[in-house]
């Protein structure tokens, strides 16, 4: 990014002056059937650390493991982790720098042991004035987030088979591990948006009206 950072910044400033300020993105869990996905509206210039928290909230993860974003072989993540080579520091990187237009994609990987990969696809760019309500906002989705530490897509598939079949030799073990209230088809868009509310921009405090607040 180093040599091109100035040019990238200039292009981004030009992009921000255009009306297509909001990205509609689809976040899909890779390698899982039936599909688990979320449709989300986010500012196109959302920084990657905040996008990480947004994906965690909409999917239902607990942010208990390491994560990174990938574009091809290029990795973006938190600085100073123990893996070598270290990823590019993502704290100043925006979504529209790695996925700049509809049709563009990137990967968000969570939990390097289970290796949950999420395909993030920019599906549309919307004029900011056409978008009502707060951002970010989840529009739709399907199916519950897998439990943490279940073993990635392959482990989750085995978990579902055991959970749904009382005659399965591991049925009782998995049922107790996951708790009785786990429902793989459950998805509550209202609950997701209540979690996302914490990532909405704060409104400026209204200025006090009347005389000067200075003390004599």
The per-residue pLDDT for 210 is 52
The Cα 148–Cα 34 span in angstroms is 18
The Cα 211–Cα 24 span in angstroms is 45
The per-residue pLDDT for 18 is 53
CATH superfamily of 7-144+185-199: MM3350-like (3.10.290.30)
What is the three-class DSSP state of 4?
A: coil
> What number of residues does the chain have?
216
What distance, in Å, lies between the first and last C-alpha atoms of the chain? 53
The Cα 116–Cα 109 span in angstroms is 6
The per-residue pLDDT for 17 is 33
Which of the residues in the chain have pLDDT under 70? 1-20, 81-83, 179, 202-216
Six-digit token string for 143: 């199916």
Six-digit token string for 119: 């395909």
The Cα 99–Cα 42 span in angstroms is 13
The per-residue pLDDT for 132 is 87
The per-residue pLDDT for 2 is 41
The per-residue pLDDT for 15 is 41
The per-residue pLDDT for 22 is 95
The Cα 55–Cα 105 span in angstroms is 14
DSSP states of 90-159: -TT-BHHHHS-STT-EEEEEE-TTTTEEEEEEEEEEEEGGG--S-SSEEEEEESPPPPTTS-HHHHHHHH
The per-residue pLDDT for 95 is 96
What are the sequence ranges of the domains in the chain? Answer: 7-144+185-199, 146-184
Six-digit token string for 157: 């598939």
């Amino acid at each position: 990014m180093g040599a091109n950072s100035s040019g990238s910044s200039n292009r981004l400033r030009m992009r921000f002056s255009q009306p297509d300020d909001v990205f509609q993105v689809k976040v899909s869990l890779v390698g899982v059937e039936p599909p688990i996905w979320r449709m989300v509206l986010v500012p196109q210039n959302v920084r990657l650390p905040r996008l990480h928290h947004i994906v965690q909230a909409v999917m239902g993860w607990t942010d208990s493991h390491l994560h990174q974003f990938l574009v091809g072989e290029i990795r973006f993540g938190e600085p100073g982790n123990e893996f070598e080579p270290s990823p590019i520091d993502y704290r100043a990187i925006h979504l529209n720098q790695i996925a700049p237009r509809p049709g563009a994609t990137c990967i968000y990987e969570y939990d390097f042991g289970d290796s949950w990969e999420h395909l993030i696809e920019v599906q549309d760019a919307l004029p900011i004035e056409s978008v009502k309500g707060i951002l970010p906002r989840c529009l739709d989705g399907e199916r519950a987030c897998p439990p943490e530490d279940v073993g990635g897509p392959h482990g989750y598939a085995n978990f579902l088979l055991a959970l749904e079949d009382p005659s399965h030799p591991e049925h009782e073990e998995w049922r107790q591990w996951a708790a009785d209230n786990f429902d793989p088809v459950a998805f509550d868009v209202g609950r997701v948006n209540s979690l996302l509310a914490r990532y909405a921009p704060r409104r400026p405090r209204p200025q006090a009206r009347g005389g000067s607040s200075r003390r004599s």
